[in-house]
Amino acid sequence: METRVVDHPLAAALLTKMRDERSDNATFRSALRRLTEMLIYEAARDAQIEEFDITTPVAVTKGARLAQPPLLVPVLRAGLGMVEPASALIPQSQVGFVGMARDEHTHQPVPYMESLPADLSATPVYVLDPMLATGGSMVHTIDLLVARDATDITAVCVVASPEGVSALERSGHPVRLITATVDEGLNENAFIVPGLGDAGDRQFGPR
């Protein structure tokens, strides 16, 4: 599986804002928005483009656009904060939704919502979730996409753990990972260390 870590000074500064426990909800959301732009920029680097004719004030020339805009799939709640910056960068993209919350004791994802197109065979999919911890939530989301015949899936995360990366690899699914960091590992509560805490709570408050 391809794992691409967006290693850039501006991304590192935004990640630092998100990690800092002193950042309030608004500061955290703002840093997530700006960092997501960088992650999506990187995710789209290899996207196919199609050319078309345009006219500048001076001459006729070739323009470019994405041949197949991706479906954006935020994993609720924490992925919600990544939708606006991703769809601003790729305005032609459509959005599907998956809702999931980890059980505090088992750390298994408990799905509560699914709103996706039936056929994804011709559609690249970007799954948006800031955190890849055990990988359970991401693998479950990708299971749903593969069941709809998706073959071109990108997991766009902010913080990944080595355990989450391994889980994605073991899933055997057609997925690549774009992330701002791969951290040290998980603690006894399956939180990423050093991580940034609970990405849903830090955007929206406790549930």
Confirm if 19 and 196 have CB atoms less than 8 A apart: yes
Confirm if 31 and 23 have CB atoms less than 8 A apart: yes
Q: What binding mask, one character per residue, do residues 113-132 give for ligand URA by CB under 6 A, x or -?
A: ------------------x-
Query: What 3-state DSSP class applies to 178?
Result: strand
Query: What 3-state DSSP class applies to 198?
Result: coil
Which ranges of 72-177 does DSSP label H, i.e. alpha helix? 83-89, 136-146, 162-171
Q: Name residues contacting ligand URA, limited to 68-97 (CB under 6 A).
A: 78
The residue from 46, 106, 143, 170 that is catalytic is: 106
Nearest distance from C-beta of residue 187 to Mg ion, angstroms:
15
Q: Which of 159, 200, 202, 203 binds Mg ion (CB under 5 A)?
A: 200
198 is catalytic: yes
Cβ proximity to ligand PRP: between 120 and 199 the closer is 199
Q: Name residues contacting ligand PRP, limited to 99-158 (CB under 6 A).
A: 100-102, 107, 109, 129-138
Burial class of 34 by CB neighbour count within 10 A (0 to 12, 13 to 18, 19+) = middle
Catalytic residues: 102, 106, 198, 201
- Binding residues (CB under 6 A) for ligand URA: these are 78, 131, 133, 191-192, 195, 198-200
